[in-house]
Chains A and B, each alone.
Chain A
Amino acid sequence: MRNPLSDRIVEIKPSGIRKFFDIVSEMDDAISLGVGEPDFDTPWHIRDEGIYSLEKGRTFYTSNTGLKELRQEIAAYLQRTQGVTYDPMKEVIVTVGGSEAIDIALRAMSNPGDEVLIPQPSYVSYEPCAILANAKPVIIELKEENEFRLTAQELRDAITDKTKVLILPFPNNPTGAIMEKKDLEEIAEVIREKDIFIISDEIYAELTYKEKHVSIVSLPGMQERTVLINGFSKAYAMTGWRLGYAAAPAPILQQMLKIHQFAIMCAPTTSQYAAIEALKNGDEDVAMMREAYNQRRRYLMHAFKEMGLQCFEPYGAFYVFPCIKEFGMTSDEFAERLLREEKVAVVPGTAFGDCGEGFLRISYAYSLENLQIAMEKIAAFIKRLREEKTGHKS
């Protein structure tokens, strides 16, 4: 029999988080700090709208780009939060999660051999999606000393004649890093000068703890060269509804729509009705969840400080990214021992790129009580590691 498989797909590495979760699922009493989705239920009034739409028999496809009312609400949201104007008829598409938007944006913009710049550590999909789009992923390694922000110099150093697109993944999973306006302004200058495009993944836009999120599209000349991606999963705790969106200049969006209509048809109808309610009346829920995350974030930073674990203060998403280099182990080794010895599951930083070596991703999408138990265990674990290292009890 001939080989039925595509070489290009076979060559793509499976996600690094997988292996780890397999161990976790063998243990029934492990405390996981590994999950990348909110612990809150979708607010009831949003679920209620989904249910109501089903009762009314709204069980058909929507238009390919999504319900008109939802696209209008998305445009209104971008207007009120970023002060930018998008035409809901031509510049907004509703997708199956932010993930689909990443995929179709990359496919719509890449020619074979085009280079796509991917700052890492970052979400694990960008690299394989770039490969699937026939582009060549080029990694920019972000540094802890810059709080894992992308600097203009790092960007400049990575740009070649073939560079087409920069992926801008902020607020960042897994580091929790944000880019503030001044940081973005420096990036924008390079983007204009070198004439490249941006895919800005802003799925954690609502979850920042310093100042409100600033999108690069709000800077002069950037909207016309940016695909902005956002969605409902993180802000409104709607991961299972699978709903995201992209806002982009009409010529790019038109091509994204082609892939979307042939591969997906349209995003789930029930979810779209619920999402209208989320954008219309969900601000208070978002504020409540943001405050809860922020309290947990402060607690974790305090706990790390008490146990002497180095960690830069992240101001976005719901992750902290402590450094474990002092223990002389790889992230994988550390995470596996922590899991086996203390039954606490965290994700090794290397799951998000080689430069995540020496770091761990800890999610705080867990209740404070849960986090407190986990931190006690981690404190005990690293105390033991330090004793092992010095060879005696302190």
Chain B
Amino acid sequence: MREQILAIIEKNSRISVKELAVILGAEEIDVANELKALEEEGIICGYHTMIDWEKTDIEKVTALIEVRITPQRGQGFDKLAERIYKYPEVNSVYLISGGYDLLVSLEGKSLKQVSSFVSDKLSTLDGVLSTATHFVLKKYKDHGTILGKKYEDTREMITP
């Protein structure tokens, strides 16, 4: 049941416990308990909303930044990653295999704001060797959802 619950609420976090119980053929109390356990174990970390900011008047700039760092003795990459993810403007921090170490995604109000974060804060951290900043020009698909496209039922009437 756990896997099914996660698969459903990953796509639709607004579904009620009652609805979940109905479509999974389970008891409401069991679903509620499972959700509670998933939250307590930190498996469910939050219930977010997907927003296509492009469609609003609010200006947002997203950047992906490749960061090369020097791992620190005894703490590897974690210590520096932690320093970076504490900045509220940082959306995500991933440790990456390959040509660089951390992939940091960042949201700011303007190009200027993002670039000053990179030059003033990120690249000046001890242990950061270099950064390469990529600004996102357009988001086509995010979190498994194709942006800007509405589902349309194109099935035609056919008999039999």
Contacts and interface: CB of A to CB of B under 8 A. Distances in A.
Nearest to B160: A124
Contact of B25 (A39, A124, A298, A367): A298
Interface of A: 14-15, 17-18, 21, 24-25, 34-37, 39, 123-125, 291, 295-296, 298-299, 302, 367-368
Contacts of B4: 291
Closest 9 pairs between A and B when the two form their complex, measured CB to CB:
A295-B23, A124-B160, A15-B159, A21-B157, A17-B159, A302-B22, A15-B160, A18-B159, A298-B25
A267 to B, nearest CB: 19
Nearest to B153: A39
A299 B159 contact: no
B24 interface: yes
Contact of B22 (A14, A21, A37, A298): A298
Q: What does DSSP make chain B's interface, helix, strand, loop or mixed?
A: loop
A24 B157 contact: yes
Contacts of B155: 35, 37, 39
A368 B157 contact: no
B150 to A, nearest CB: 12
A72 B155 CA distance: 32
B69 to A, nearest CB: 37
A18 B160 CA distance: 8
Interface in B1-25: 4, 8, 19, 22-25
Interface string B117-154: 00000000000000000000000000000000001010
Contact of B23 (A37, A39, A368): A368
Contacts of A18: 159
A25 B23 contact: no
B160 A296 contact: no
A299 B157 contact: no
